[in-house]
Structure 1
Amino acid sequence: MTMLQLAARALLVVVFGAALVGKARSRAALAAFAADLADFRWLPAGLRRPAAVGVIAAEVAAVVLLATVRQAGAVLTLGLLAAFTVATLQAGRAADCRCFGAARRGARGSARGFVLRNSLLAAGALAAALAPGGGVAPALAAAALAAGAGAGAVIVRWDDIAYLFQGPAAPRRS
Structure 2
Amino acid sequence: MVYLLLSCCLCLAFVFGQSAVSKTGSKAFRDFAGSAGPLEILPTGLRVPAAAGVVVAEVTLTVALLVGAFSASLRFVASAGFLLAVLLLLSFTAAIVVTLRRGIRKPCKCFGAATTPLGRAHVVRNVLLLAAAVAGLVAGATRPESVEPAGFAIAAVAGLVGGLLVTRFDDLVELFGSQAIG
Same fold (TM over 0.5): yes
1:120 aligns with 2:128: yes
1:5 aligns with 2:25: no
> What is the letter of the counterpart of residue 9 of structure 2?
R
2: distance between equivalents of 1:96 and 1:117?
Answer: 15
Aligned-CA RMSD value: 2.0
1: distance between equivalents of 2:86 and 2:105?
Answer: 18
User: Could you tell me how far 1:86 is from its partner in structure 2?
Assistant: 0.5
Q: Which runs of 5+ in 2 are unaligned?
A: 68-76
Q: Which residue of 2 aligns with 1:17?
A: 17
User: Could you tell me how far 1:40 is from its partner in structure 2?
Assistant: 4.2
The 5 Å alignment of 1:27-106 reads 27-37=26-36, 40-68=39-67, 69-92=77-100, 96-101=107-112, 103-104=113-114, 106=115
* Range that drifts further, 112-121 or 30-39: 30-39
User: Could you tell me how far 1:115 is from its partner in structure 2?
Assistant: 1.0
1:108 to 94, 112, 117: 117
> What is the letter of the counterpart of residue 17 of structure 1?
G
TM-score w.r.t. the length of structure 2 is 0.82
1:148 to 159, 177, 181: 159
Shift >4 Å, 4+ stretches: 37-41
Gap change, CA 1:15 and 1:146, over 3 Å in 2: same
> What is the letter of the counterpart of residue 167 of structure 2?
V
1: distance between equivalents of 2:19 and 2:39?
Answer: 18
* Range that drifts further, 129-138 or 77-86: 129-138
TM-score w.r.t. the length of structure 1 is 0.86
Gap change, CA 1:77 and 1:62, over 3 Å in 2: same
Give me the identity figure in percent. 39
User: Could you tell me how far 1:139 is from its partner in structure 2?
Assistant: 2.2
> What is the letter of the counterpart of residue 9 of structure 1?
C
> What is the letter of the counterpart of residue 169 of structure 2?
W
> What is the letter of the counterpart of residue 120 of structure 1?
L
Q: For this pair of structures, how many residues does the alignment match?
A: 164
* Range that drifts further, 130-139 or 7-16: 130-139
